[in-house]
Amino acid sequence: MTETTAKFVDNTGAPAAKLELWPAIIISKARIEAEVERLASLPAPANGRRSSLIVHPNATAPGLGLAPGVQVSLNVLKPGERTQPIRHNSTQVNFCIRGRGYSVVNGKRIAFERYDVWNNPSMATYYHVNDGEDLQVRITYSNAALLEKMNVHVVEEDPPMVDAVPSSAKPDESHSKSVNPFGTFKLTEDGAYLMPYEKLINPDVVPSLPLHWPWQLVKEHLDKLQALGKSYVGRRLYLLFNPATGRTNGTTHNFFATMCVRPPAIIDRPHRHTAAAINYYFSGRGYSVVEGKRYEWEAGDLMLSAPGWGIHNHASYDEPVYELTIQDSPLNIAMESLLWQENLKQPLATLGSQEGFATNRANAAG
């Protein structure tokens, strides 16, 4: 038997590797609609899931994503159909682009319509149902691509329904003598601590719940942002915020989802961030400039609009634009890697570790 051994790779004096950004890419409405019809024409699979991954040409297996750490799938259910239960340790943001239906996530029923957004927490058993008269079409964003790269994506088909351990459950008294009596304590005056094993394997629990952001409710608040004049230097958006993500400002612990409105003839200033961004435009038309290249888009297009650390900006034409944007910012905040440069003439910041940026909203709002 051949022994598996590590090898040394001499890196003495080597310069830092240059970033090789994936190019921006647009998946047109026409291509998406054609794939929806193809999926709908297939016989119903045993697990009920008609699904296609939307994969960037630069992606390599394992971990086929539209961005390096973001898996995007197109999912179709015909009227009266449902999927079989499944669960996995990846998390998801779901977005309905056609039809209606409901999802059952850890026993919670989420009835959704077009442009609604909801999340699936890790290891939450779920299934989807089409109780409408039209095709149900969902775009799902997942960190499965990243977990597959790490070789730790755990998936269970048709899992048994297992009750969660109550948070009030007490540890077995027979193990009480094995608990470290000293707890977590400060080791040095500058803030280094020691934590015992018992706390290491039993971190504080923050419940991760399935949440639903109905489009009609979100739109009421989003439209109020159109009143900000052209002098406003920020972006007119709301984060679909999940309180479980805390300071990382997420919809899941991996992604944030924002709903944005762009009034007619608005041009963003160029900026960049290490988080990748994927936009779905569902009203209006415009263009983006990414790393010096111009891309035209319209309602129904899906776009990798910002490869990590690529300079980009967006502009609307003669009508308002509505879009859903997915970015892996929460993950980068947790890793202390979210570099953000809101204005290319100003210094960058490590968001979450340094003070971020301010806008002129108070003045622009009058």
Strands (E), 121-270: 126-129, 136-142, 155-157, 185-186, 193-194, 212-213, 237-239, 256-262
Q: Find out whether 252 and 244 touch, Cβ atoms under 8 Å.
A: no
User: What pLDDT does 169 receive?
Assistant: 45
Domains of the chain: 25-157 (2.60.120.10), 212-354 (2.60.120.10)
Residue type, 342: E
Task: Give the model's pLDDT for residue 2.
Answer: 80
Q: What is the pLDDT of residue 147?
A: 98
Residues 362-365: contacts with CB within 8 Å, 24+ apart? 363/231, 364/228, 364/229, 364/231, 364/232, 364/233, 365/227, 365/228, 365/232
DSSP annotation of 151 reads T
- The tokens describing 261, both together, are 């409105």
Using the 8-state DSSP alphabet, how is residue 351 labeled? B
Mind giving me the DSSP string for 25-61?
EEE-HHHHHHHHHHHHHSPPPTT--EEEE---TT--S
- Of the candidates 117, 359, 119, 96, the one whose C-alpha atom is nearest the C-alpha of residue 225 is 359
> What pLDDT is stored for residue 179 in this prediction?
63
Half-sphere exposure of 273 (CA within 13 A, CB side): 23
Instruction: Name which of 273, 288, 295 is nearest 350 in CA terms.
Output: 273
User: What is the pLDDT at residue 175?
Assistant: 46
Along the 366 residues of the chain, how does pLDDT read in single tens digits? 688 999 999 999 999 999 999 999 999 999 999 999 999 999 999 999 999 999 999 999 999 999 999 999 999 999 999 999 999 999 999 999 999 999 999 999 999 999 999 999 999 999 999 999 999 999 999 999 999 999 999 999 999 765 544 444 454 444 445 566 788 999 999 999 999 999 999 999 999 999 999 999 999 999 988 878 776 767 889 999 999 999 999 999 999 999 999 999 999 999 999 999 999 999 999 999 999 999 999 999 999 999 999 999 999 999 999 999 999 999 999 999 999 999 899 999 999 999 887 776 666 654
**What is the per-residue pLDDT for 164?**
46
Cβ(143)–Cβ(93) below 8 Å: no
Q: Is the distance from CB of 39 to CB of 50 less than 8 angstroms?
A: yes
